[in-house]
């Protein structure tokens, strides 16, 4: 069986998905995922990851980078011309982030990481949409990233809009509907309603990853990956882990 970054290869991907055909189309270097066939194939993109990071190592590395950012002592790792050239054909992101699209939360900067270090999926409200989950599945099962961080942030506009429960134009309403269930247990009489809403949404979206993805749920069950929630303080720049 072919292995990619120490994780899976061709037919083994179907096993993670429960043995069914996957409705996925995604191009990769040298191959593709082809939807609707029993021979769903993941090309032999990379050899085994020469530098794998287990979940705790990845989390430690992220928090160390964030501490450098907070202390204004960034190292700007893996941002050289040599690094750029080294990852033209392969990638080994040591962690995956499902974060909010807020412009004040630039993922690689707040974690002081560089090219090819993080596989980042960003959407307003760090919502675990189907397309976001598909990307996370790819990072975990193909690229071999063993840590997924659901990263929300204080004073999140998407969460605030969901709490107001007012109609929004265009497609924005659909996004807010994916946040509202997270707020059902929030104490509306609390003095820190918005902060409680942000934390509840992070935890809810992390739970949705397991409920909506057979692939991620199986990898977690087998101890292959770990999913944690974290909140970013836009005032201080500090990331705090909610679950570990």
pLDDT 10s digits, 73-108: 999 999 999 999 999 999 999 999 999 999 999 999
**Please, which residues have CB within 8 angstroms of residue 3's CB and are 6 or more apart in sequence?**
9, 48
Indicate the length of the chain as a whole number. Answer: 244
Nearest-angstrom CA–CA distance, 184 and 42: 40
Lowest mean per-residue pLDDT among 123-132, 150-159, 179-188, 221-230: 179-188
At 52 the pLDDT is: 80
Write down the CATH number for the domain with range 51-241: 3.40.1050.10
Nearest-angstrom CA–CA distance, 24 and 137: 11
At 49 the pLDDT is: 66
At 221 the pLDDT is: 97
- Residue ranges matching CATH 3.40.1050.10 in the chain: 51-241
* Percent of the chain whose predicted confidence (pLDDT) is above 90: 71
Task: Report whether 125 contacts 182 (CB < 8 A).
Answer: no
* Count of CB atoms situated within 10 Å of the CB of 53: 21
pLDDT band at 32 (very low <50, low <70, confident <90, very high): very low
pLDDT of residue 131 exceeding 70, the answer is yes
At 239 the pLDDT is: 98
pLDDT of residue 42 exceeding 70, the answer is no
pLDDT band at 18 (very low <50, low <70, confident <90, very high): low
Nearest-angstrom CA–CA distance, 241 and 226: 13
Average pLDDT, stretch 142-169? 94
- Looking at every residue in the chain, the average pLDDT score rounds to 84
């Amino acid at each position: 069986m072919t292995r990619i970054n120490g994780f899976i290869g061709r037919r083994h991907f179907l096993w993670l998905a429960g043995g069914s055909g996957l409705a996925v189309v995604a191009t990769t270097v040298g191959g593709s995922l082809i939807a609707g066939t029993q021979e769903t194939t993941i090309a032999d993109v990379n050899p085994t990851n020469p530098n794998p990071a287990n979940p705790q190592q990845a989390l430690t590395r992220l928090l160390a980078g964030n501490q450098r950012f907070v202390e204004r002592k960034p190292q700007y790792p893996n941002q050289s011309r040599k690094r750029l050239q080294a990852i033209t054909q392969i990638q080994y992101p040591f962690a995956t982030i499902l974060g909010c699209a807020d412009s004040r939360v630039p993922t690689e900067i707040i974690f002081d990481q560089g090219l090819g270090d993080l596989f980042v999926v960003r959407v307003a409200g760090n919502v675990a949409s189907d397309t976001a989950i598909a990307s996370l599945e790819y990072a975990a099962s193909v690229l071999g990233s063993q840590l997924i961080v659901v990263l929300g942030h204080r004073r999140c506009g998407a969460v605030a809009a969901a709490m107001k429960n007012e109609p929004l134009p265009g497609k924005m309403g659909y996004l807010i509907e994916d946040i509202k269930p997270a707020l059902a247990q929030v104490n509306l009489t609390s003095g820190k309603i918005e902060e409680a809403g942000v934390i509840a949404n992070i935890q809810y979206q992390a739970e949705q990853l397991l409920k909506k993805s057979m692939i991620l749920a199986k990898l977690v069950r087998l101890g292959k990956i770990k999913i944690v929630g974290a909140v970013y303080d836009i005032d201080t720049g500090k990331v705090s882990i909610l679950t570990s």
